[in-house]
Structure 1
């Protein structure tokens, strides 16, 4: 019969199990702290900590516990720093994907003139324009609707197989996948807002022609409401076909994590 958590806590492996849970909680905290997954809903900090501990206990119970992994405070501190760095690296892959939505929102806010009106962003704790915040909430909502949180937990579980708790890992292997994702950040962000930007560009051309032929009209006063109206209508229509681009954005998380995991298993030299 498999030992229960109480048996493990009262046996000689109880200390090692508690260390594994604590280190795994550091990895989860560093991963989720850089993403809007936990901050999209106004949960108290104590609830977030209990959620992280619960996930850590569930994951630690599914993987083997090293018998004598940490023989001193120095080894434990090195393992904690390695877990924080690994969690931050994995979280950066998620943050870059959600950053594409921020790029799209800021681009539309600039084109429609919504940059003045700002609301509080729950992730960054700073004021952001309206459409930027709306794109952020939309990205989190669709992420949960597509069961992205299930894929996220599976990815964290798979990371325990590639990078056991407390094991050393090389950050150089993660540099190339993250740089590749960062280079595609602005292209994906522009793809999220490209049809709306194109409609606003056509409106700008039309207003320029009208202002050229009717100089007595105040185009600044008339142009702003027209651009806002056309932009919001185009954005509402674009939401019906934005799913394909959003899928590409979320897929960038999987490709980046796969690149990190595959790079960690490649041989460092020629095989003889």
Structure 2
């Protein structure tokens, strides 16, 4: 069944709007280190629509010379899927930061004793331990300080020009993705290393105390001590956390730049 072979100008912009929205949706909506993804679903939907329109206006001249031709509904929805896949590639870079930091901090929270004391986030319908939430919020603030939200919009705008809408999906090397993931996990280990070392020494001292004074309940003595040491180590390593966080977000930017 014939759909539309050549769109008039108005239809062309409507199609371009939906293609841009599919490319932008994973980066803004799906869970990642991007603070916008932590907003309620309705707000994320409004922001996606607004940003898609802004990008459409910014790339209007490039879209004017494009001729979107679809003979069937299947071709149109396939083109939307391709744009969504391109957006998933950009989102993957943000996800690596979140996954690496979240994995290391969850293990650290379990060791410190914060794991049972979760902070419920109603917008995401999940619960995070205190230490995990503090550092995730710190990295989210860094995202804004480093103009990450502007870079997302600039990225999608540039890709509309350099990877035109409905032009297909380029080949992404698997080695590039694995290199990004491994480097982010290494940085995440370095991120929590000072606290890990401090807790290791506390566990060693508590183990010796348990051997010398078995009548003392080491768990109830050690739990507040480990929490206090973790907070002290966190306060002293705040500058270290900021520098590592900047490195992780810069690797995301370098990965995006390597795609086009």
> What's the TM-score, normalizing by structure 2?
0.86
Residues 1-272 of structure 1 aligned to structure 2 (within 5 Å): 12-34=8-30, 35=32, 36-42=34-40, 45=42, 47-63=43-59, 64-65=62-63, 66-72=65-71, 73-121=73-121, 125-170=125-170, 172-261=171-260
In the alignment, the residues of structure 2 paired with residue 27 and residue 99 of structure 1 have an alpha-carbon distance, to the nearest angstrom, of: 22
In the alignment, the residues of structure 1 paired with residue 132 and residue 55 of structure 2 have an alpha-carbon distance, to the nearest angstrom, of: 35
Unaligned segments of structure 2, at least 5 residues: 1-6
- The equivalent of 1:269 in structure 2 is none
SS in 2 for 1:69: coil
Preserved contact between residue 28 and residue 52 of structure 1 (Cα < 8 Å): yes
SS in 2 for 1:119: strand
In the alignment, the residues of structure 1 paired with residue 122 and residue 258 of structure 2 have an alpha-carbon distance, to the nearest angstrom, of: 30
- The equivalent of 2:4 in structure 1 is none
- The equivalent of 1:270 in structure 2 is none
In the alignment, the residues of structure 2 paired with residue 54 and residue 124 of structure 1 have an alpha-carbon distance, to the nearest angstrom, of: 22
Q: Deviations over 1:128-187 (max 9, x none)?
A: 3222222222221221122111122222222223311111013x4153322111122321
SS in 1 for 2:240: coil
SS in 2 for 1:114: coil
The CA RMSD measured in Å over matched residues stands at 2.1
Preserved contact between residue 98 and residue 139 of structure 1 (Cα < 8 Å): no
- Taking a change above 3 Å as real, the CA distance of residues 122 and 246 of structure 1, as seen in their structure-2 partners, is farther
Task: Give the C-alpha shift of residue 97 in structure 1.
Answer: 1.5
- The equivalent of 2:3 in structure 1 is none
In the alignment, the residues of structure 2 paired with residue 123 and residue 184 of structure 1 have an alpha-carbon distance, to the nearest angstrom, of: 30
Q: Deviations over 1:202-252 (max 9, x none)?
A: 111222222223333222221111111111111122113322111111012
- Taking a change above 3 Å as real, the CA distance of residues 123 and 93 of structure 1, as seen in their structure-2 partners, is farther
In the alignment, the residues of structure 2 paired with residue 32 and residue 176 of structure 1 have an alpha-carbon distance, to the nearest angstrom, of: 25
Aligned residues, how many? 248
Preserved contact between residue 40 and residue 140 of structure 1 (Cα < 8 Å): no
- Taking a change above 3 Å as real, the CA distance of residues 123 and 197 of structure 1, as seen in their structure-2 partners, is farther
SS in 1 for 2:22: helix
State the 4+ residue runs in structure 1 displaced beyond 6 angstroms: none
> What's the TM-score, normalizing by structure 1?
0.83
Preserved contact between residue 188 and residue 249 of structure 1 (Cα < 8 Å): yes
In the alignment, the residues of structure 2 paired with residue 138 and residue 51 of structure 1 have an alpha-carbon distance, to the nearest angstrom, of: 23
- Taking a change above 3 Å as real, the CA distance of residues 137 and 122 of structure 1, as seen in their structure-2 partners, is farther
Unaligned segments of structure 1, at least 5 residues: 1-10, 262-272
